[in-house]
Amino acid sequence: MSALRLGLLGMVAIVLVGCGERVQTIPPGGERKADTPVWENKDKRFLAPGWTPGDQNSWNAQLVDRAQAQNDYAPRK
């Protein structure tokens, strides 16, 4: 295309960029919050017995054991 056209297009682009376009990046403080690991729980009121809050391995073992309650073929108290 002709140099005039190119120049015109270039000017339109510059004007558009310059005129009041909103920033589309997430502002600081607006990012997704980091989630606390699930085995850490400060609230002690409703904890299932048998594991230690804060201990990941204890939590893992607790959930694996609890899942066996869904198994009719497992001998369980």
Q: How many residues bind other proteins (CB under 8 A)?
A: 36
Please select the residue that binds other proteins; options are 26, 27, 28, 54, rule is CB under 8 A. Answer: 26
Is the Cβ–Cβ distance between 55 and 39 less than 8 Å?
yes
Told to check if 69 binds other proteins by CB under 8 A, we report yes
> Measured between alpha carbons, how far is 13 from 11 in angstroms, rounded to an integer?
5
Told to check if 23 binds other proteins by CB under 8 A, we report no
SS3 44: coil
Binding residues for other proteins, rule: CB under 8 A, are 26, 30-43, 45-48, 50-51, 59-60, 62-64, 66-73, 76-77
